[in-house]
Structure 1
């Protein structure tokens, strides 16, 4: 593939490539990282026409932002840089986690992210999770102040409910809502997607490959590195759910083989076909998988293809929740 293979899409008024790159796994959660390969992956993404690079202050306790900052230092003008704030972690106590959306914290978090990223502004700044103790209007007002100061260009929310999105958008335009959306995570289709479309807000699906499970590459826990959180922190890969979900992936793989593509490419193409306002951010830290993902953005699916894919992975047949119980409490507020 050559440079600029991805056509543009819009998130509100923000123009980006049709697919972005999730950078979280480069620094944490999915086994051991390799900074050299991760930086090469970022550079390859830009060559292929990906412009939206996604990180957050909590990924690797800030180290992911630092890594991404190094990767784009000499090519900042080619990047639509997205980061997130709001999930508070303590590296000294890794079981401790909270959410903050108070105005004082919004400003502090933005300054810290700008410093780690080595930039003077963030293009798309999300609230990572909604703080139930702080009215969304107060949080968005603080985020809007960052726009006025030139430190942020556009605003986003992550895993917010439909009513929260409406209230936030009434304070300041929200350009994008980031949420999990894939063949096996479709709960946003009832309220969140229609609300975003009514308001002209773009949708940024994370984990469009079901945290890698929909690629078919995970056939047992032995396929995951010892430090991979999916071994114990992903209910859909827990004992009793794993095999049930694997049956759907096998069906998806059979469909993919008939089209001459991988199961992951077929699953990602399904997300790409959700609409011109949808920009998925599959995460990877390796160029090999990046190339596969970008190819999926150009895969044409017929109406019958869509029906066959959804029949192979019925939304109501997926076993297990998206997150453990504590994580589920932070969704759709």
Structure 2
């Protein structure tokens, strides 16, 4: 068995891949995106995984890698091709090197042509391969910058990717049409650039006449990726909330744990944090009770009553289980509130942690 997730960045149409060994809980991320490091960390935490390495298929021209930021947060190694010319990496790969995660491993295959440092990562049983931009679904990466070469790319794809078993699933770094996966058999037969009877002369003629504009972020992304995603200034780092110890869920909701909220509202910070209870009145005064100082504002009324909430102080939304209050957080953020969080587990968790309530049953 293998833990596998395919994640997406709509801005650059980039896929990020999570692979993990369920026995050891060790994981790798392929082609992480800087802007989604928080999302990726949340997923790792929720699946109880330990990130051991990030693997870039190449020095991307259309987004900044999340490798450096994930190393700062998770202690993971930065791994990519020796031919990439990148600095700040922990391990530089050559053709045939293996990257282990638990009892599983990926084999790095050099597939230059889109860039000189392109790698394809092949799973140990050859059931999956992660092709970067060397081979896309019914296409391939361009060859007109970053030391690209149609002749080298043709040879790379034919010898290192399309030579894999026909049933091997191929996962690209990008797709601009929403397609998610293909196979060696499909691309051998249907890829209009590299499949069928196409030879190297056909391919060179095709690629040398694409006439594509350069990627919009190339001048930003390539220099940053040659540093493995390290920002040149502290201002380039994502901003984290500092008003309370919060964690972000994979769904993108900031949460506070009950003990942290209890300490915040009972430790000399009274008035600093607003508690908005979005249950119905009968629940507010029912068996679970409510948090001292909480204001009742049922979820159905929240949008129309948001003007009653002080925007100068942080707020925590509360409900029975944390589901309705997560929606309340989304509504409040849409209304322009920035310092807002959900109480993890709601009043059920609050009571389970034996924290004080008003009007609650035993």
Structure showing the higher helix proportion among its residues: 1
Q: TM-score, normalised by structure 1?
A: 0.30
Structure ID, larger Rg: 2
Bigger RCO (CA 8 Å, 6+ sep): 1
